[in-house]
Homo-oligomer: A and B are copies of this chain.
Amino acid sequence: MELYSPEYFMNEALKQAKIAFEEEEIPVGAVMVCRNRIIARAYNQTEKLTDVTAHAEILAITAASNSLGAKYLTECELYVTLEPCVMCAGASFWAQLGGIHFAASDPRRGYGRLKEGVLHPKTKISRGLMEKESKALLDAFFKKLRN
């Protein structure tokens, strides 16, 4: 079995973010990885679904649980192009996610602004992978929105 790198997975998440961009959604994408395999892909669809809960992370958790037939995702790692918000961090707590890798930070709306931990103690965090690419996509989106 081919072993994929974190860069490969984050690039797949970035592809999802690019689909969001094309569909005029805030460009955030995610993939859920379980034992070196992508079991769910999702991008932000809050506009299309008229639903503030349709963040890439929430859709990826729901799809991954559906794929595995399991509520808890302790063996799964989420690759997401932007730091999760409080809602999504709270969802990852309930799912007991094995790990979250996020690209760009979100100082304003990211869960990291909270002083107290909201993640599950089992959830390992890594940040900054392909940050530049994710940020460039977000910046391009907001620039286009302003014009």
- Is the CB of A145 closer than 8 A to any CB of chain B? no
Contacts of A52 on B, CB cut-off 8 Å? 61, 65, 71-72, 91, 94-95
The one of B51, B66, B90, B95 in contact with A71, judged by C-beta atoms closer than 8 angstroms, is B51
- Is the CB of A141 closer than 8 A to any CB of chain B? no
**9 tightest CB-CB pairs across the interface, nearest first?**
A87-B90, A52-B94, A86-B90, A87-B91, A52-B95, A51-B65, A53-B91, A51-B62, A86-B118
Seen from chain A, the residues whose Cβ lies within 8 Å of a Cβ on chain B are: 46-47, 50-53, 58, 61-62, 65-66, 69-72, 85-91, 93-95, 113-116, 118
Q: List 10 A-B contacts (CB under 8 A).
A: A47-B71, A50-B65, A50-B66, A50-B69, A50-B70, A53-B53, A86-B87, A86-B89, A86-B118, A87-B87
